Amino acid sequence: MSGLGYIAEAVTLELNAEACTGCRMCTYVCPHGVFAMRDGVAHMVDRGSCIECGACERNCAAGAIRVEAGVGCAAAIINGWLRGTEPDCGCDSC
């Protein structure tokens, strides 16, 4: 649904295709279909949908993916500012 597009220009996701071993793991773990395989290598086909959850980077054994992962939550970021810590939603349940 295109109406659910979010601010995309700041997304930090980077893929080094030369380091990709073609294991497909990023295509399995991404919840927004950012990656697809082409010629046996991962490509970013919808980089703007990336929510920077970090699943791809964490599961890329080849270290071909970089992303500044975090939780896209304004309340967590404000909490971090107030306490001088990393973003932390402060809730015990989410």
The answer to whether 90 contacts other proteins (rule: CB under 8 A) is no
Does position 18 interact with other proteins (CB under 8 A)? The reply is no
For position 34 contacting other proteins by CB under 8 A, the verdict is no
b/e 12-24 (16+ beta carbons within 10 angstroms → b): ebebeeeebeeee
Q: Which is nearer to other proteins, 44 or 56 (CB)?
A: 56
Q: Which of 37, 43, 66, 77 binds other proteins (CB under 8 A)?
A: 77
* Residue 75, both tokens: 């309340």
CB closer to other proteins out of 5 and 40: 5
93 binds other proteins (CB under 8 A): yes
Strand spans (E) along the chain: 14-15, 35-38, 41-44, 65-66
Find the DSSP H helices in the chain: 25-29, 55-58, 74-83
Cα Rg of the chain, angstroms = 15
Instruction: Provide the binding-site residues for other proteins, judged by CB under 8 A.
Output: 1, 3-12, 25, 28-33, 49-56, 58-59, 61, 68-78, 87-89, 91-94
